[in-house]
Amino acid sequence: QVQLVESGGGLVQPGGSLRLSCAASGRTFRAYAMGWFRQAPGKERELVSQVSSNGVITYHSDSVKGRFTISRDNAKNMVYLQMNSLKPEDTAVYYCAARFGLALQDIRDVHYWGQGTQVTVSS
């Protein structure tokens, strides 16, 4: 069993930055691929970024590539999402997700979800 707790969301102006954090429980964190999904009102939940269990492979969706960076610290059981140059269209609830295995490529792969944290980009 893995519990995920997100933090770091909030209100930010366009062009600003936020860093989301996800704290994971359990002693087998390094066996899980981790990802960040987001869901805007009226839209489906979508994969934003993922990092492999060994931290070597990362993926970012085209909509955030070059602006967002995912990272993990296996010693601290933490995953981060650094979000720069934020746009109004980044407004959504952001969810931390975990999959037992090397990589997380699809919402159907997710084994555990966090409760979500709201990110609002507005002037």
Query: Once rounded to an integer, what is the mean pLDDT over residues 16-26?
Result: 96
Span between the terminal Cα atoms of the chain, in Å: 40
How large a percentage of the chain has pLDDT more than 70? 100
Per-residue confidence (pLDDT) for residue 4, from 0 to 100: 97
Per-residue confidence (pLDDT) for residue 99, from 0 to 100: 96
Tens digits of per-residue pLDDT, 34-81? 999 999 999 999 999 999 999 999 999 999 999 999 999 999 999 999
The strand pairing partners of 22, in sequence order, are: 6, 79
> At CA 122, angle to CA 113 and CA 5, rounded to 5?
20
Per-residue confidence (pLDDT) for residue 1, from 0 to 100: 84
Check: CB of residue 21 under 8 Å from CB of residue 119. no
Query: Once rounded to an integer, what is the mean pLDDT over residues 95-100?
Result: 97
